[in-house]
Structure 1
Amino acid sequence: MKILVFGATGSQQFNVISEGIKKGAEVIAATSSEKSFDKLKQAGATPVLANLSDADKMMEVTKGIDAIAFMIPVSLPNPLDGLQYAKNVIDAAKENDVKKIVWNVSGWLVPQKIGIPGEDVKLDIRDYLINSGLDYVIIQPSIYMENMMGPFCAPFIKNEKKLAYPTPEIMPIGWIASRDVSAFVVEAIYNENLKADSFQISGLENLNGNDLAEQFSKGVDEKIVYYTQPAKEFGDILKPWVGEEGAAGVASYYEGLQNSTAFPPKFNPNMKEVLEKLPVKMTSLAQWAKQNKVYFLNN
């Protein structure tokens, strides 16, 4: 089995490499920068230089590939470019008889377009994939535990013993580890019965802010309290990474959440059914925090 992975240099898809190797796959990792080659080689993948915007290159790198673990970059300068990038990959996969595409959506798909380009374009990608005639599985993860490693959260844990996140304390979330998501992606590739399927996945714990801090505290053996980070503070910290416009959009979203009493679901209560089709050993929040204690407290 030859698996071509997109997004493998980032935390959301990096573990697809090791999970694929566990299954005996040969993993090829596409990257737009040769600077990532060493990291990908050390993980066990064969790196290839390929930019999603280059349709001819997509035709080249998908030759001889059995399955594609696909993801669109989450911080495109123009989110609407994501549709053309997806078309380039899907068209090449179809031309080269790739058996299956598994798409990590990097979040749950919205029910209908909501006026946020980065979310709305995913619906267009979904429709194009469904209509392509290829076998596909769509993996929709809730919110990554790794988000807490970001600059808006991790320094607060180390310096102030506060778990900072811009969601209201009362909002429950089924946090999920990126390694678990990668395992779902690989299981979906190998399950031959899945040919036109979509799964909303989350962790097994539906935690509000205080519950999150309690489980995190158990993992790191320190008392950590939850801090509902003001949306503006969150946006200001994000600016150097996503730009002023991107940060303002994200901050506006979280400000809406903080002013609301009804929250979008971020937990799948039917994970048992998902796990019957995609058997993955799930990581609890406390386990994940313990695994990453050094990062948070001694970084």
Structure 2
Amino acid sequence: MIYVIHGATGAQGAPVVSALSAAGKSVTAVTRNEHAVVDGARVVAAAYSSAADLTAAYRDAAGVFVHLPVTSEEDRRIFADNILSAVRAARPARVVFSTSGAPIDPAAGGAAATLAAGLADSGVSHAVIAPELYLENLLMPYVIDSVRDRGVLPYPIRADFPVSWSSHLDIADVAVALFERTDVTGVVSVGQYPAITGPDLAEAFGTRLGRDVVFEPITPGELRVSIEPLLGEDAAAVVAGLYQAMSTMPGRSIAPETSAQKLLGVTTRTTGQWLADIGL
């Protein structure tokens, strides 16, 4: 039984590869670089832009873990369509899709919503992992360098904006559980509950680092400038747009009735536990 993992050399896919490999599963890492080396996995070169590549990678798979990369929405729509074409053609036994926090409400539109709806119509066993915001975002240089140098945690949300934060490690735990628990379908929410605010994050960092840390709201425009050198202009614009949309929301809390805690018995790490797990 082979599990096919997208983004296996990146932040989201690598923990899934590690968790499956540790559980003794056979893993195929899907990458764009055929010469990549992924511990615990066989590497297959396949591009999101090629439905044929994806079909070949998915065929006979016991499970496929997929997420859409951060790029232009136009490209993400193409990738979603190609993934769906491959799933329909190859018929893997199970697909687990992480939204990476993108909206999947059909009314909102977008590539993630298209992919979620298409999986629901595919007839293939599937589940959709729905995180809110990733704790790994706080490791971006503009955040973590400020925490270390100034004792200030800057982030583009209001101080009173509650979020059910989760980590890529949590997503991996949930993905592995969902490959085993094929009775659980539909949307599985992943994140801390109750949700926490920016000052709560700063307090957790301060406790871990043994110093005072305060939270500082910044604007989506300031975020865009900070991440453009890392992500590129198009991707930075997409991310900043998501935070601009969030600025009108009351918060980003998971619904406990669809949570991994309730459906799978998988508890999301606290911020302090995550900081300890990554050795910060």
Query: Do they fold alike, i.e. is TM over 0.5?
Result: yes
Q: Indicate yes or no: 2:98 matched with 1:104.
A: yes
* Higher deviation after alignment, 232-241 or 99-108: 232-241
1:279 to 248, 253, 265: 265
The farther-off stretch of 266-275 and 214-223 is 266-275
TM-score if structure 1 supplies the norm length? Answer: 0.84
The 3 A distance-change label for structure 1 pair 211 and 276 is closer
After superposition, the Cα gap between the structure-2 partners of 1:46 and 1:242, relative to the gap in structure 1 and judged at 3 Å, is same
Q: Which residue of 1 aligns with 2:181?
A: 191
Deviation at 1:108, TM superposition (A): 5.0
Matched residue of 1:89: which SS? Answer: helix
Once residues 250 and 58 of structure 1 are traced to their aligned partners in structure 2, the CA distance between those partners, rounded to angstroms, is 26
How far off its partner does 1:169 sit?
0.6
* Equivalent residue number for residue 229 of structure 1: 218
Go from structure 1 to structure 2 and tell me whether the alpha carbon gap of 1:286 and 1:271 turns closer, same or farther (over 3 Å shift).
farther
Secondary structure at the counterpart of residue 131 of structure 1: helix
Structure 2 counterpart of 1:31, which letter?
Answer: T
Q: CA deviation digits over 1:126-165, x for unaligned, max 9?
A: 2221111111101111111100011221111121111111
Query: Do the aligned partners of 1:30 and 1:50 also contact (CA within 8 Å) in 2?
Result: yes
Aligned-residue identity in percent? 23
Contact 2:80–2:111 at 8 Å: present in 1 too?
no
Asked if residue 210 in structure 1 is aligned to residue 199 in structure 2, the reply is: yes
Give the aligned length: 280
Does the 8 Å CA contact 1:90/1:129 hold for their aligned counterparts?
Answer: yes
Segments of 5+ residues of structure 2 without an aligned counterpart are: none
Contact 1:204 1:284 in 2 (8 A): no
Find out whether 1:127 has 2:113 as its counterpart: no
Q: Does the CA-based 8 Å contact 1:219-1:293 persist in structure 2?
A: no
Q: Distance in 2 between matches of 1:175 and 1:143?
A: 5
Are residue 82 (structure 1) and residue 72 (structure 2) matched? no
> Hey, what's the Cα distance between the residues in 2 that align with 1:11 and 1:231?
23
- The CA RMSD over aligned residues, in Å, is 2.3
CA distance in 2, matches of 1:9, 1:271: 33
Q: Which amino acid aligns with 1:54?
A: S
Q: 1:271 to 1:180 in 2, by over 3 A?
A: farther
1:1-299, aligned counterparts within 5 Å? Answer: 1-34=1-34, 37-38=36-37, 40=38, 42=39, 44-75=40-71, 78-114=72-108, 120-194=110-184, 196-255=185-244, 257-258=246-247, 260=248, 262-263=249-250, 265-270=251-256, 274-292=260-278, 294=280
Q: How far did residue 87 of structure 1 move?
A: 3.2
Compute the displacement of 1:246 (Å).
Answer: 4.1
1:56-89 superposed Cα distances (whole Å, 9 cap, x missing partner): 22222223311101111122xx323323323333
Task: Give the residue type in structure 1 aligned to 2:130.
Answer: Q
Which shifted more, 166-175 or 59-68?
59-68
Q: What CA distance in whole angstroms lies between the structure 2 residues aligned with 1:71 and 1:162? A: 32
Could you say if the C-alpha distance between residues 95 and 104 of structure 1 is closer, same or farther in structure 2, counting changes exceeding 3 Å?
same
- Distance (Å, rounded) in 1 between the aligned partners of 2:53 and 2:113: 25
- CA change 1:272–1:257 in 2 (3 A) is closer
- Paired residue type of 1:212: L
Structure 2 contact 73–110 (Cα < 8 Å) conserved: no
* Partner SS state of residue 102, structure 1: strand
Deviation digits for residues 146-189 of structure 1 (CA, Å, limit 9, x no counterpart): 00011221111121111111111110111111101111111111
SS for the counterpart of 2:13 is coil
Alignment partners' CA distance in 1, 2:17 and 2:224: 32
